[in-house]
A and B are shown apart, each in its own frame.
Chain A
Amino acid sequence: MFDFNVEAVFGAVAIVFALDTAMFVMLGIVVGITTGAIPGLAHSLPIALVLPFSFFLPIHQTMGLLIGTYQGGTYGGSITAIAFGTPGTPGAAATVADGYALTRQGKGKKALQMGLYSSVVGGLFGSLVLIFLVVPIGRIAPRFGPAELTALYFMALSLVVVFSTENAGKGILSAGIGFFLAIIGRDIITGGLRFTFGIRYMQAGFPLVPLLMGFFALPEIIKQIHTVITDPEHAGQVSEDGVLELPKKAEPGLGLKEFLGSWKGTTIGSVVGTFLGALPGPGATLAAYTSYSVTSQFTEDKSYGKGSLEGVAAAESANNATCGATFIPMLTFGIPGSSISALLMAALIMEGVPVGPRVVIDHTLVVYTIFLLMLVANPFNLIFGRLLIPVFTRLTKIPAVVLWPTIAIVLVIGTYAYNNRPFDIIMCIVAGLIGYFYRWFKLPDGPLVLAFLVTPLFEASFRQALTISRGDPMFFVQSPIAQVLWVITALSIFFFLRKKEPG
């Protein structure tokens, strides 16, 4: 355990509130928001690109740049999700349903502002939890072994029920397809090849980023291009040659009342995001989906799922809340819980700070600096987000004939740039055709994304637990943590099923 070290706090304040540090945080935020908003380019890429800077920049500048990029990128993904129905990062996929629906109703500005404010609230909450509860939470994280994780992931999978309320058959069908897509490729434990159909490149499986980008973006691109060709009058200002068709009158922004009205979504999102962020593995996408589906059970908003500000708040506060929490296992044990924290850890090592269980004690100043940077990044995010919202509100007014081919092109390059694998482009297109089928056949997309995200985690923990216990199923209910999780799962399934009865 460590106590607050006042001297280190003042030291950190002096470092963080210096002009040069602030400049680097700002630069990071701008780079993050911009690249986050490019579909296909998840934000780990800009962070990896910033990494070599740690060779020559001092530590607070590097950290400012990295943390700014991380926070900005996590927020940036929601911009395109709301404006074009194309999530910029996987974490923003849950925002598409409500955010894009709002844009089509002409409330894009409100949705963008809701996304920004809830992101900032979620980010602040996650950072504060990181600062005050890093040690206690960090000590709990390793207690989640294979058996406990199996229970946790089963709980996440049970949320599929929530998405299946309208048509149970289609919900199950969608989850089944998600399961299947997730297991394509090399087996996570043995490396055996599953359903690769003899194609060499399929060995790498269905990567998350191309899947989500294609799945959400391509159906919209197809629809828009189809309209442009067959029905030009209704495809926006096709014959107008001006690029920026400025709106005749300003769209109303988000009122304080509307923002506070979504308090349930924001609160659930912040808590769920922080909890799932602290555990190694799940990450922002799962947090956003979990929060989005949990909120759907508590909201009074009738338009939830069809253009609700609360839906945007639930998803966006959750994905930004994971930002702070994801560093908890790293700062307590020196074990990176996500690819992002692995990158940050690498940067710290390159700066000469060995990250281990004693990092909080041996390098208190550095750790406080990171904490403060996490906090400071949020206001900057707010400022730049506010500045960029008018820009993106205008971008949505670009004629369809210009806009959608450009998005298609950026999608193709972004997908390639993420892992430098040409085959990812094909996977993205295949995912897009699946998404197109989903739209046509009216399948809910929530079960697919949840099943796709959780299946690999669930399968690994489940099989590991069975191996450790030598096949004894009682192993899953032995620890108190696992017991609590199973009870919550059972209760929530019961609750979800009861709730849908009247409707």
Chain B
Amino acid sequence: MSTKRLTQNGIIGLLMAFVAIGAFVWTFYSPLRSMELFVPRIAMWLIIIGGVLVLLRDVVKPERAPRLSQAFVLPYAGGVAFAMWLYGWAFRNIGLVTSTFVFLSVWWIWIAVRDARRSGTTAGLAWRIAKLLALALAIAAVIHVLFITLLNMHMPRTPLP
């Protein structure tokens, strides 16, 4: 079916072009000097041209448009990003070893419990969790030795190690 139609791929290209047009117009109201805006404007032009080209190509040959994954991964992306930020905050404000241990063990215990529920076998769960906790502690210790003892990383003072 080679009918000319809009694709999701093309629409996103167009949207990016619109954002770049907005930014391009904005540059004329910014306090920056024209020398300072020279390269930013090239960047915006490239995004506009690129976005429109993506759209045009799909309109002309929709059968060649790449299929974008429809899997609903965005919440996971947000979750992972947030967890990493939270960990970054935690190790600077609570303590490197403590937060590493807490983050890893919370994650592993959750996965282990979930796994056990799924397979319906709770036998040996406690032992498994104990092993995972030991592993989390070992990783926390290794990270402490590596970054604090050996690499002498600059750490703010934290209430816990």
Asked if B33 is an interface residue, CB under 8 A from chain A, the answer is yes
Partner of B84, one of A226, A401, A425: A425
Tell me, in angstroms, the Cα distance from A218 to B85 when the chains sit together.
Answer: 12
- Tell me if A161 counts as interface (CB < 8 A to partner B): no
Pairwise interchain contact A179-B42, C-beta atoms closer than 8 A: yes
Task: Write out the residue numbers on chain B whose beta carbons fall within 8 Å of the beta carbon of A401.
Answer: 108, 111
- Which residue of the partner chain, among B16, B56, B132, B151, contacts A417 with CB atoms under 8 Å? B151
Q: Which of A194, A241, A412, A455 has most chain B Cβ within 10 Å?
A: A412
Decide yes or no whether B91 CB sits under 8 A from chain A.
yes
Q: Which residue of A lies closest to B107 (CB)?
A: A405
Evaluate contact between B44 and A176: CB separation under 8 angstroms: yes
Q: Is A5 an interface residue (CB 8 A)?
A: no
Is B139 within 8 A of A406, CB to CB? yes
Contact code string A156-173 (vs B, CB < 8 Å = 1, else 0): 000000000001111111
Q: By DSSP majority rule, is chain B's interface helix, strand, loop, or mixed? A: helix
- Does B135 sit within 8 A of A, measured CB to CB? yes
The reply to whether B92 and A172 contact each other, CB–CB distance below 8 Å, is: no
Nearest opposing residue in chain A for B40, CB measure: A183
B residues near A189, Cβ cutoff 8 Å: 35
A173-B46, A241-B131 known; A232+B115 contact, CB < 8 A: yes
Q: Closest CB-CB distance, A151 to chain B, in whole Å?
A: 17
Query: B147 touches which one: A417, A455, A459 (CB < 8 A)?
Result: A417
Alpha-carbon distance between A413 and B96 when the two chains are bound, in angstroms: 9
A-B contact pairs, 24 of them (CB 8 A): A35-B151, A38-B146, A41-B151, A171-B50, A173-B54, A176-B44, A176-B49, A177-B47, A179-B46, A194-B32, A222-B73, A228-B111, A232-B118, A241-B131, A401-B111, A405-B103, A408-B80, A408-B87, A410-B143, A422-B88, A425-B84, A425-B88, A440-B69, A441-B12
Q: Which residues of A contact B52 (CB under 8 A)?
A: 169
A486 at interface (Cβ–Cβ under 8 A)? Answer: no
Q: Beyond A169-B13, A194-B32, A238-B111, is A441–B68 a contact (Cβ under 8 Å)?
A: yes
Please name all residues of chain A whose beta carbon is closer than 8 Å to the beta carbon of B36 when the two chains form the complex: 187, 190, 192, 194
Across the interface, do B39 and A459 meet the contact criterion of CB distance under 8 Å?
A: yes
**Residue of B whose beta carbon sits closest to that of A46:** B151
The 7 A-B residue pairs whose C-beta atoms are closest, nearest first, are: A169-B53, A173-B50, A176-B46, A179-B43, A172-B50, A176-B47, A169-B54
Verify B84–A175 contact, CB threshold 8 A. Answer: no
Which residues of chain A have C-beta atoms less than 8 A from B135's C-beta? 243, 402
Q: Is the C-beta of A436 less than 8 angstroms from some C-beta in chain B?
A: yes
What residues of chain A lie closer than 8 Å to B51, measured between beta carbons?
A: 169, 173
Query: A211 to nearest B CB, angstroms?
Result: 15
Residues of A within 8 A of B (CB): 35, 38, 41, 45-46, 49, 167-177, 179-180, 182-183, 187, 189-190, 192, 194-195, 218, 221-223, 225-226, 228-229, 232, 238-239, 241, 243, 401-402, 405-406, 408-413, 416-417, 420, 422, 425-426, 429, 432-433, 436, 440-442, 455, 459, 463
Complex Cα gap A46–B132 (Å): 31
Q: Chain B nearest CB: distance from A33 CB in Å?
A: 14
Number of interface residues of B (CB under 8 A): 68
Interface residues in B115-151 by Cβ distance below 8 A to A read: 115, 118-119, 128, 131-132, 135, 139, 143, 146-147, 151
Chain A residues, Cβ within 8 Å of B12: 441
- Tell yes or no: B45 within 8 A of A by CB: yes
Q: Check: B66 CB closer than 8 A to any chain A CB.
A: yes
**B20 proximity list for chain A (CB < 8 A):** 176
Enumerate B43-82 residues with CB–CB distance to A below 8 Å.
43-57, 66, 68-69, 71, 73, 76-77, 80-81
| B residues less than 8 Å from A409 (CB atoms) | 87, 100, 103-104, 139, 143
A70 to B126, CA, bound (A): 46
Contact A433–B77 (Cβ < 8 Å): yes
Q: Are B132 and A241 in contact (CB under 8 A)?
A: yes
Q: When chains A and B are docked, how far (Å) is the Cα of A180 from the Cα of B43?
A: 5
Chain A's closest residue to B85 (CB) is: A429
Binary contact track B147-161/A, C-beta < 8 Å → 1, others 0? 100011110000000
Taking the nearest CB of chain B, how far is it from the CB of A205, in angstroms? 13
- A218 contacts B80, CB within 8 Å? yes
CB nearest to A225 among chain B residues: B80
Instruction: Let me know if A176 and B76 touch, CB within 8 A.
Output: no
How long is the Cα–Cα vector from A420 to B151 in the complex, in angstroms? 12
CA A192 to CA B38, docked complex, whole Å: 13
CB pair B84 A413 closer than 8 Å:
no
Other-chain residue from B66, B96, B119, B152 in contact with A49 (beta carbon distance below 8 A): B152
- Contact between B53 and A168 (Cβ–Cβ < 8 Å)? yes
A-B contact sample (17 more), CB < 8 A, given A167-B57, A218-B81, A433-B81: A169-B50, A169-B54, A172-B49, A172-B53, A173-B53, A175-B46, A177-B43, A180-B40, A192-B36, A221-B80, A222-B81, A402-B135, A408-B83, A411-B84, A413-B96, A417-B153, A420-B153
Contact A192 B33 (CB under 8 A): yes
Contact (Cβ within 8 A) A45 B43: no
When distances are taken between beta carbons in the complex, the residues of chain B under 8 Å from A192 are 32-33, 36
Question: Are B50 and A413 in touch, CB under 8 angstroms?
Answer: no
Q: Which of B36, B71, B115 has the most CB of A within 10 A?
A: B36
A97-B131 Cα distance, complex, nearest whole Å: 35
Nearest chain B CB to A457's CB is how many angstroms away?
11
Identify the interface centre among B32, B131, B143, B153: most chain A CB within 10 Å of its CB: B153
